[in-house]
């Protein structure tokens, strides 16, 4: 793994030279289970991540989000941190089992009150809230009833989404239905690496994906009805995919991989159909797709959120038959999660989405990098030059995309502060602020300061 700090890279100059369009939104993102802790407080229900983290070996360091950044109690510190870094937008998620413990029936007043306080606090501080309704913490009771394998979960999600929008919609204008369906459907249901930990291969990935997309489609009109004036979108983790070699078999594998990661979701949401090549390849592994589902999924949306961390270089291989692909790691710079640093990926992904699907607006809803754990320096600071450079190099690509006429309106760094990184536990911090595990004290890292400077200059 090459992750060398280059002291001569002109970070300050490059950061100062960045030009984003007027009104461009700079923010940071988090997710409920990764930061809130307080997993049993005030009647919160169990989520699939509460359950999965107890499975021996599921999380590399044996940890969980039980305490995490304790944001359930320290949300005011999070707002102070955003302000300190000059960020005027915050993308957070609503914990479904916190506001509806079993995933059905009445919403929890105590759970909703937490998000009420958070939203009011953000607005008072001049920070615009961007709320995501599902960032992977399905109520365990719904999982026990079939989870994303069940059509019913899609209807439960729409009910929940409407309830939350009815409560917060007078103050929250920006809504995201799902965060990264590809990741939670495939890593959770095909590969067993994320909650709920099912290893059902392509059949599992596709069934979960269809019901998740249906959940999105059912929820969009319900959110609009409950929160007039809402801007509603979905967040997809798009990857620019290139073939490992020019060989026909590698190119075909790259197309299959890209069909499942990108086109399966984009075609469904923007064109009202699934890609024909994937339908044909996986004909025996599909869930029931009713004729009316396609139109339901393709609800008009106001923006597409793009989470992007890297490109994918794909060749023929044995992964997930009949997709039969293998990821290839070309020589280059890599982060602590083993992801290649390839800044043009961000511009290529925006360009791909814009040219083929023309969403009304685009946001980079996540982008960032992991390092090994970073102790505080003697002066009490974290000098994460490599991460600061990563953010600047990727923002340069966003700026290029904007200059070329792509309607990209904002950028959210992943993540506001070091937190629970799913199956990697606390081993690979992504924060632009450090969190002291003993005291929970939050401190901007160099990367947070640099992003803040860029944000202030842009504002």
| Burial degree of 236 (CB within 10 A; 0-12, 13-18, 19+) | buried
Q: Minimum Å distance from CB 104 to ligand FCB?
A: 25
For residues 293 and 214, is the Cβ–Cβ distance under 8 A? yes
Side-chain-facing half-sphere of 131: CA atoms under 13 Å: 26
Residue 237 or 250: the one with the smaller Cβ distance to ligand FCB is: 237
Q: Which stretch binds ligand FCB (CB under 6 A): 100-108, 153-161, 176-184, 402-410?
A: 176-184
Q: Minimum Å distance from CB 277 to ligand FCB?
A: 25
For residues 341 and 369, is the Cβ–Cβ distance under 8 A? yes
Residue 222 or 445: the one with the smaller Cβ distance to ligand FCB is: 445
Residue 132 or 153: the one with the smaller Cβ distance to ligand FCB is: 132
Q: Minimum Å distance from CB 190 to ligand FCB?
A: 15
Please give the residues from 84 up to 123 whose contact with ligand FCB meets the rule CB under 6 A.
none
Q: What are phi and psi of 415, to 5 degrees?
A: -145, 165
Q: Minimum Å distance from CB 370 to ligand FCB?
A: 7
Residue 316 or 433: the one with the smaller Cβ distance to ligand FCB is: 433
Residue 34 or 108: the one with the smaller Cβ distance to ligand FCB is: 34
Q: Minimum Å distance from CB 446 to ligand FCB?
A: 19
Site membership for ligand FCB, residue 414 (CB under 6 A): yes
Residue count at the site for ligand FCB (CB under 6 A)? 12
Please give the Cα distance from 26 to 268 (Å, whole number): 29
Say whether 438 sits in a helix, a strand or coil: coil
Residue 179 or 242: the one with the smaller Cβ distance to ligand FCB is: 179
- Per-residue burial over 39-48, b = 16 or more CB atoms within 10 Å of its CB, e = otherwise: beeeebbbbb
The catalytic position among 141, 366, 386, 421 is 366
- Which one of residues 307, 312, 367, 371 is an interface residue with ligand FCB (CB under 6 A)? 307
Tokens linked to 210: 């269809």
Site membership for ligand FCB, residue 180 (CB under 6 A): yes
Residue 282 or 391: the one with the smaller Cβ distance to ligand FCB is: 391
| Contact residues for 272 (Cβ-Cβ < 8 A; gap 6+) | 294, 295, 297, 298
Q: Is 366 a catalytic residue?
A: yes
Q: Minimum Å distance from CB 336 to ligand FCB?
A: 11
- Which one of residues 422, 446, 449, 454 is an interface residue with ligand FCB (CB under 6 A)? 422
DSSP state letter for 340: B
Report CA-CA distances (Å) from 25 to 130, 325, 412: 11, 37, 8
Q: What is the dihedral of CA 308, 313, 317, 318, to 10 degrees?
A: -10
Say whether 282 sits in a helix, a strand or coil: coil
Residue among 329, 282, 285 at smallest CA distance from 310 = 329
Residue 68 or 227: the one with the smaller Cβ distance to ligand FCB is: 68
The catalytic position among 36, 180, 340, 421 is 180
Q: Is 180 a catalytic residue?
A: yes
Site membership for ligand FCB, residue 237 (CB under 6 A): yes
Q: Which stretch binds ligand FCB (CB under 6 A): 115-123, 166-174, 178-186, 390-398?
A: 178-186
Q: Minimum Å distance from CB 307 to ligand FCB?
A: 6
Strands 128-134 and 442-444, bridge-based pairing: unpaired
Please give the residues from 198 up to 227 whose contact with ligand FCB meets the rule CB under 6 A.
none
> DSSP assignment of 91-107, as one string?
EEE--HHHHSTTSSSSP
Tokens linked to 437: 């595990």
Only one residue has tokens 């989520």, namely: 47
Please give the Cα distance from 358 to 308 (Å, whole number): 18
- Which one of residues 141, 348, 366, 418 is an interface residue with ligand FCB (CB under 6 A)? 366
Residue 404 CB neighbour total at 10 angstroms:
12
Site membership for ligand FCB, residue 31 (CB under 6 A): yes
Q: Minimum Å distance from CB 40 to ligand FCB?
A: 22
Say whether 47 sits in a helix, a strand or coil: strand
Q: Which stretch binds ligand FCB (CB under 6 A): 52-60, 179-187, 209-217, 372-380?
A: 179-187
Please give the Cα distance from 211 to 185 (Å, whole number): 10
Residues noted as catalytic: 180, 366
Which residues make up the interface to ligand FCB (CB under 6 A)? 31, 34, 179-180, 183, 237, 307, 366, 414, 421-422, 430
């Amino acid at each position: 793994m090459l992750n060398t700090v280059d002291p001569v890279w002109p970070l300050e100059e490059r950061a100062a030279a960045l030009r984003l369009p007027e009104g461009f939104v700079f923010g940071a993102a988090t997710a409920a289970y990764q930061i809130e802790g307080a997993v049993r407080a005030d009647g919160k229900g169990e989520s699939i991540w509460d359950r999965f983290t107890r499975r021996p070996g599921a999380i590399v360091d044996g940890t969980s989000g039980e305490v995490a950044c304790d944001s359930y109690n320290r949300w005011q510190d999070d707002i102070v941190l955003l302000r300190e870094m000059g960020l005027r937008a915050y993308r957070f998620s609503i914990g479904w089992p916190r506001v509806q413990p079993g995933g059905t029936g009445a919403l929890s007043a105590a759970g909703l009150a937490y998000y009420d306080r958070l939203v009011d606090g953000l607005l008072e501080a001049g920070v615009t809230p961007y709320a995501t309704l599902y960032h992977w913490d399905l109520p365990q009771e719904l999982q026990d009833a079939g989870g994303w394998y069940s059509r019913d979960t899609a209807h439960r999600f729409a009910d929940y989404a409407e309830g939350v929008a009815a409560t917060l919609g007078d103050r929250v204008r920006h809504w995201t239905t799902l965060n990264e369906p590809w990741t939670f459907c495939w890593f959770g249901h095909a590969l067993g690496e994320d909650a709920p930990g099912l290893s059902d291969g392509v059949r599992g990935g596709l069934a979960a994906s269809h019901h998740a997309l249906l959940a999105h489609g059912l929820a969009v009109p319900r959110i609009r009805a409950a929160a007039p004036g809402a801007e509603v979108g979905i967040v997809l983790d798009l990857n620019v995919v290139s073939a490992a070699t020019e060989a026909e078999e590698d190119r075909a594998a790259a197309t299959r991989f890209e069909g499942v990661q990108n086109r399966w979701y984009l075609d469904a949401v923007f064109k009202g159909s699934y890609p024909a090549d994937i339908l044909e390849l996986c004909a025996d592994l599909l869930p029931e797709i009713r004729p009316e589902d396609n139109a339901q999924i393709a609800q008009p949306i106001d923006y597409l959120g793009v989470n992007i961390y890297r490109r994918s270089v794909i060749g023929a291989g044995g992964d997930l038959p009949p997709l039969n692909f293998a990821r290839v790691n070309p020589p280059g710079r890599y982060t602590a999660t083993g992801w290649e640093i390839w800044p043009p990926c961000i511009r290529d992904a925006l360009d791909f989405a814009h040219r083929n699907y023309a969403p009304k607006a685009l946001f980079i809803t996540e982008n960032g990098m992991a390092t090994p754990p970073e102790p505080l320096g003697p002066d009490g600071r974290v000098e994460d030059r490599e991460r600061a450079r990563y953010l600047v190099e990727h923002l340069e690509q966003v700026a290029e995309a904007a200059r070329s006429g792509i309607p990209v309106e904002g950028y959210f760094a992943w993540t506001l502060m070091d937190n629970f990184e799913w199956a990697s536990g606390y081993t690979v911090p992504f924060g632009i602020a450090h969190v002291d595990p003993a005291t929970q004290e939050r401190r901007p890292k160099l990367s947070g300061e640099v992003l803040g400077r860029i944000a202030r200059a842009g504002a």
